[in-house]
Structure 1
Amino acid sequence: MTLNFTASDYYQIDDLLTTEEKALRMKVRECMEKDVAPIMAEYWEKAEFPFHVIPNLGALSIAGGTIKGYGCPGLSITASAIATAELSRVDASCSTFMLVHSSLAMLTIALCGSEAQKQKYLSSLAKLKAVACWALTEPDYGSDASGLKTTATKVEGGWILDGHKRWIGNSTFADVLVVFARNTTTNQINGYIVKKNAPGLTATKIENKIGLRMVQNGDIVLRKVFVTDEDRLPGVNSFQDTSKVLAVSRVMVAWQPIGISMGVYDMCHRYLKERKQFGAPLAAFQINQEKLVRMLGNVQAMVLMGWRLCKLYENGKMTAGHASLGKSWITLKARETVALGRELLGGNGILSDFLVAKAFCDLEPIYTFEGTYDINSLVTGREVTGIASFKPVVASRQRSRM
């Protein structure tokens, strides 16, 4: 039997893709294996981003994903998801860089920006001639991002932003920053486009991460940063408006662990067949085969859930609960998969020279960001039961008696 495309595509799920989606997958894979795979361990160890590969990523024409017009590729969400998986299969940091830039910052401008803003920013961002970041979370507000404290105060001709954002990917070098702040007049969340090097803006790299080390996450401090009226995003008038963006980005984030798991399985499959012990390949041992097959089963199930999630979105049927279950369950299974892969490689499983150790660490922040496993599970739980459990029941009762 000849396996289809890669060892991890055991159920020949590639057959579910269109000719265009298959071609995109191959194009992204070739770029990642040629330009990123040889250098990723070095840059991961240094915790530096390989800026010289950005033009190569731009040439793939995947930045902007599903956005149509303005120089963007107008991909199906399935094609965009496949591209995300292929980036992640080789390096999760590169896929995170692209996700922040494309599925968060660019998509916010596309869905919530004015026509003038779309014309001004999207074309250069689509070519990766400029890089964007998306600044929502704060030191005291991670899972409960709606409680953010950064403020936007109206002044003549624009707005004054004051606050602190944390864990913002790409922020230390982004040319365009999409920043969310609380309007001091309406108390609602609004969105703003802030330029690099704006007076009062500083972005400091967060050091000593154990995962996604190439991603330049930063602390952003805004001290009376002036933003013109033209750079306020007119489509962001409450926190709920971010859900239009997060619905798409959560699908993309679900495909990151799929790609990571595919890469880990392919590496382990090759490693067990090539490495010998007692004169036999490691693949000949029963326990190794059982672990490998468990990994393989996880990958098939994860891909099928991710593919179905894309189809639900394309047909206008995807709910917040669907997206949250996809992200939470897929990352949970990916965690198990990469842990098994680390075991299979033995001592080599803790070396960053091998894909598995790096992937093992990179998956940890993905398990947490875009909503933790627990928060995403509760979003789905609320949808299937009709009962919101985010706030303690006792506290809710106490408030009702006041």
Structure 2
Amino acid sequence: MLGKMKNIIKLLKTVDFEQLEKVSKKVDLAEVMGAVSKMDEKQLQMAMKLLTGTKKKKDPPPIDADFYNIDGKLSAEDRALQLRVRSFLEAEVKPLVNNYWLHDEFPFEIIPKLAELNVCGYVYQGYGCAGGTSLMDGIIASEFGRIDPSIATFLGVQSGLAMGSIYMCGSDIQKEEWLPKMQQLKVIGAFGLTEPEVGSATAGGLTTTCRRTNKGWVLNGQKKWIGNSTFSDITIIWARDLDDNQVKGFIVRKDNPGFSVEKIKGKMALRIVQNGLITLTNCLVPESDRLPHAQSFKDTAKVLQMTRAGVAWMAVGCARGAYENALAYTLQREQFGKPIASFQLIQNHLVEMLSNLTAMQTLVFRLSELQDEGKLKDEHASLAKVFCTLRTRDIVSRAREVMGGNGILLEYNVARFLADAEAIYSYEGTKEINSLIVGRSITGFSAFV
């Protein structure tokens, strides 16, 4: 009884008597007091909260895009590396990317800092490389994609396509000459396969040609969409040998006579990536710069298989970045007096995004396990590329949707992910081509034209 009386006294102390006089003209105060006297202690406490407005605001849970705790399967050492990479990207890259993306420029000042991070060529043995697992290489790619897909693409070209071509197809002398400097980012590489008129049909016949002469190899043709090529020191060029009709690979230096690059402008995606149109006009390349273990397109495909898995991880990172930014926004943005994260339709979008993201994370984790076990096949990498890039498009679209008009502004970050997802969806093999690779595997029939 004593406790009840104390609560009634507290309730009375909250009353503004000037307001009470106004209220008395509208309600029967005696009747109100009679009702209050009949309340139990719990009811009185609720009444006090309503009158004083002292209801404690509930703090939202921390944003955690790793819903199934996949990172928990990492060793302590690998987890520490992941967090070190994440911290670096948050501090050194995230503050820069919107401005550089807007102006279609590359932040060259981060290259020495990326070198210090020491993750370039992570999976290779020797040459200053870490000799790490494909799993951690994928996680690193995802961390880069989470902050900016353009910088992730830069690293993917340098570490995967360019270094990978030399590592898998080069001679020992070529590896010793180039890989240590590329690992330290003292030499920047590019990868020239796609052509103005030949994208998905590269396996069927490149228009860029090579012919051996007594002075070396003469290359003619064009390459398009070549990332890093406007400032790269070397470019891996794939060309069709006019003598045997097989694809061969070459290390072409930026100062080779007959080699020129024009920057591709007007892109709506991956604007930080400096893509170039390469023109080879009787470009002379010495025999010593031909990749001796690149004898056909099958050798090119081995490089693509390795890097295609990385693109799937990069898509996961892009999707995660969009989801995390969107979730944070919905927790802060208020409409009708409360955060929009409390609305049913917004929560439905967030759950759809998280569902797709979690499925992607578990898929690529197993994909990299297969790669580390030496069991990775073309169809495995292709299925991951198809599924992850397709689901990423859905996630970034929903992320923009829950942010309303602000979703198209760079300052809220999601607009950049929305645009960049379109490029990731298309490069390293379109959905259609990768689907046919998987289709051939499961049916036994090749549907390629």
Query: TM-score by structure 2 length?
Result: 0.85
8 Å contact kept, 2:238–2:249: yes
Alignment partners' CA distance in 1, 2:315 and 2:172: 35
Q: How does 1:309-320 map to 2 (within 5 A)?
A: 309-320=367-378
Residue-by-residue CA offset, 1:92-126 (whole Å, 9 max, x unaligned): 00000010111111011001100000000000000
Residue-by-residue CA offset, 1:171-194 (whole Å, 9 max, x unaligned): 000001111111121111100001
8 Å contact kept, 1:4–1:10: no
Q: 1:330 aligns with which of 343, 365, 388?
A: 388
Q: How does 1:3-402 map to 2 (within 5 A)?
A: 7-146=64-203, 147-391=205-449
**Is 348-357 or 213-222 further displaced after alignment?**
348-357
8 Å contact kept, 2:153–2:273: yes
8 Å contact kept, 2:98–2:411: yes
8 Å contact kept, 2:192–2:237: yes
Shift of 1:4: 11
Structure 2 gaps, min length 5: 1-58
Alignment partners' CA distance in 2, 1:18 and 1:261: 24
Return the letter of the residue paired with 2:424: I
Alignment partners' CA distance in 1, 2:61 and 2:105: 35
8 Å contact kept, 2:225–2:277: yes
8 Å contact kept, 2:63–2:327: no
Return the letter of the residue paired with 1:24: L
Alignment partners' CA distance in 1, 2:112 and 2:425: 29
Shift of 1:340: 0.4
8 Å contact kept, 2:149–2:270: yes
Shift of 1:390: 1.1
Return the letter of the residue paired with 1:16: K
8 Å contact kept, 1:110–1:118: yes
Shift of 1:6: 5.1
- Secondary structure of 1:233's match? coil
Alignment partners' CA distance in 2, 1:376 and 1:130: 32
- Secondary structure of 2:261's match? strand
**Is 356-365 or 317-326 further displaced after alignment?**
317-326
Query: TM-score by structure 1 length?
Result: 0.95
- Secondary structure of 2:324's match? helix
Return the letter of the residue paired with 2:226: I
Return the letter of the residue paired with 2:135: T
Shift of 1:157: 4.0
8 Å contact kept, 1:21–1:82: no
Alignment partners' CA distance in 2, 1:5 and 1:84: 24
Return the letter of the residue paired with 2:77: E
**Is 5-14 or 315-324 further displaced after alignment?**
5-14
Alignment partners' CA distance in 1, 2:183 and 2:288: 21
Residue-by-residue CA offset, 1:51-89 (whole Å, 9 max, x unaligned): 110111111111112111011121210111000000010
Residue-by-residue CA offset, 1:222-251 (whole Å, 9 max, x unaligned): 111111111000010001111211111000
8 Å contact kept, 1:3–1:10: no
Alignment partners' CA distance in 2, 1:23 and 1:177: 34
Alignment partners' CA distance in 2, 1:19 and 1:173: 38
- Secondary structure of 2:68's match? coil
Alignment partners' CA distance in 1, 2:143 and 2:175: 28
Alignment partners' CA distance in 2, 1:382 and 1:197: 42
Shift of 1:169: 0.4
Return the letter of the residue paired with 2:322: V
Alignment partners' CA distance in 2, 1:337 and 1:21: 27
Alignment partners' CA distance in 1, 2:264 and 2:317: 26
**Structure with the greater alpha carbon radius of gyration:** 2
Shift of 1:37: 0.7
**Is 46-55 or 265-274 further displaced after alignment?**
265-274
Residue-by-residue CA offset, 1:364-396 (whole Å, 9 max, x unaligned): 0110000101111110000000000112xxxxx
Return the letter of the residue paired with 2:376: M
- Secondary structure of 2:279's match? strand
Shift of 1:353: 1.4
8 Å contact kept, 2:382–2:434: yes
- Secondary structure of 1:342's match? helix
Return the letter of the residue paired with 1:55: P
Alignment partners' CA distance in 2, 1:224 and 1:204: 17
